[in-house]
Amino acid sequence: MNEQVQPTAEEIARHYSAAMDSVNLINGDQPEMMTDEDWADTLERNAAHLEIMVAKDYWTTENLTPFTAAIAKARA
């Protein structure tokens, strides 16, 4: 049997913080030294990370709206 353990409140907070790093990156500006191709790849990888995080079932009262908005922005 593969029983999953519910993360602690501290672990959930760390997951949320890490996901917000992706949100902030997506909502930020493309670095001057980064090519358009690299920027598009960076946006896609971070959007994919956020999709994984949104699908998690351990969220309690956390606001996931910034996650879904950043996914939409990255894919626009």
- Check whether 40 has a pLDDT greater than 70: yes
- 69 is written with which tokens? 């908005």
pLDDT at 2: 61
Q: What is the pTM assigned to this prediction? A: 0.90
CA distance 20 to 34: 21
- Check whether 57 has a pLDDT greater than 60: yes
CA distance 74 to 23: 9
pLDDT at 4: 76
